[in-house]
């Protein structure tokens, strides 16, 4: 086994682990970990900024509070893949902020493994795509002829909601 899980916790590797933790905490992307039952167990500053929950408000709660109810089956499917260590293709979707507003995100989901290689949970990285999507819609709208329009946000008929 290679990578972080194979390091012995000596003085040098503790410094490297601290640096990796600082990288995660400093990221503008939302990064959070969760258990197999879907309970959030870690939450970085980027997640707090994107979703509006402070770590102490969300850790211990189900990650499904961030999801529209109609995405539950998709979440179950991805959770099942992570549980057995299968890769999950990056995807784009909508998530719900603490204030109830909807945010368009690009999501990567990964298995988290212990030093023995066993899958012990999962991690999610979410990037806010709202500004990019608004610019894309404006550009597409300007390219359409009179009377043509794009689907309304929230209808889930956007071509970008499919896995990338």
CATH topology of domain 15-144: Beta-Lactamase (3.30.450)
CA 121 to chain centre: 14
Per residue of the chain (164 residues), give pLDDT as tens. 445 445 455 666 778 878 888 888 878 899 999 999 999 999 999 999 999 999 999 999 999 999 999 998 999 999 999 999 999 999 999 999 999 999 999 999 999 999 899 999 999 999 999 876 666 667 777 776 555 555 555 555 444 444 44
Mark residue 33 as left, alpha or beta (left: phi above 0; alpha: psi -120 to 50; beta: remaining): beta
- Full-model pTM: 0.74
Query: What single-letter DSSP state applies at residue 64?
Result: G
Question: Do 119 and 113 contact (CB within 8 A), yes or no?
Answer: yes
In the chain, where are the structural domains located?
Answer: 15-144
């Amino acid at each position: 086994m290679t990578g972080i899980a194979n390091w012995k916790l000596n003085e040098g590797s503790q410094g490297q682990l601290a640096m990796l933790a600082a990288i995660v905490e400093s990221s503008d992307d939302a990064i959070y970990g969760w258990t197999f039952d879907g309970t959030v167990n870690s939450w970085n500053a980027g997640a707090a900024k994107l979703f509006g929950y402070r770590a102490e408000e969300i850790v211990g709660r189900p990650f499904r509070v961030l999801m529209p109810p109609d995405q539950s089956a998709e979440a179950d499917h991805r959770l099942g893949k992570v549980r057995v260590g299968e890769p999950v293709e990056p995807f784009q979707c909508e998530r719900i902020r603490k204030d109830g507003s909807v945010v368009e995100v690009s999501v990567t989901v990964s298995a988290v493994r212990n030093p023995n290689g066993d899958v012990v949970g999962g991690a999610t990285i979410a990037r806010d795509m709202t500004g990019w999507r608004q610019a894309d819609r404006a550009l597409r709208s300007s390219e359409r002829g009179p009377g043509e329009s794009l689907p309304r946000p929230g209808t889930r008929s956007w071509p970008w909601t499919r896995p990338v």
